[in-house]
Amino acid sequence: MNWIDGPVYDCRVTPLHKFVDERGWLAEVFRQDNLDAMHHPVMAYLSLTHPGVARGPHEHVRQTDLFVFFSGLFRLYLWDARAASPSYGHRHVIDLGEASPASVLVPPGVVHAYRNVGTRDALILNCPNALYAGQGKAAPVDEIRHEDRTDHLFMIS
């Protein structure tokens, strides 16, 4: 497949508005009244990524991710591999982090990856709408992994 650079349907990149004062800053990550009920988070986790390291690419069958990029410098990759999507075949690459903090909603079926392209360790917050490995961690993990693909379909740099 030859990817078309452009936005991916239903992926929502929302810049974080910082409320700054003498103590530092505060930013709302999500609000129940700005997020469809089907995307409301059921858990949250932090992930630290070393410089030069990539996570993904992978996709979910049912899970929606709500990533918050606020630290360091990350390059986010989104590929729309959903045949029924209006943006099928689109690839969107965007740099996010401390200088351009944002939340990113990634629906099921959108392949995603990110790389720390900065010079120091950086954090990401994820607030997915599904529990990792289900209730009590007793279910299969909802992931289709693409890291080992040799056809370079999901190249990240």
Rounded Cα gap, residues 84 and 81, in angstroms: 9
Residue 64 lies inside a defined structural domain of this protein? yes
Residue 150 lies inside a defined structural domain of this protein? no
Q: What single-letter amino acid sits at 39?
A: H
Residue 105 lies inside a defined structural domain of this protein? yes
Beta bridge partners of 75: 95, 115
Total domains in the fold of the chain: 1
Residue 154 lies inside a defined structural domain of this protein? no
pLDDT digit of tens for each residue in the chain (157 aa)?
788 999 999 999 999 999 999 999 999 999 999 999 999 999 999 999 999 999 999 999 999 999 999 999 999 999 999 999 999 999 999 999 999 999 999 999 999 999 999 999 999 999 999 999 999 999 999 999 998 877 666 778 7
CATH number at residue 77: 2.60.120.10
Parent domain of 120: 4-131
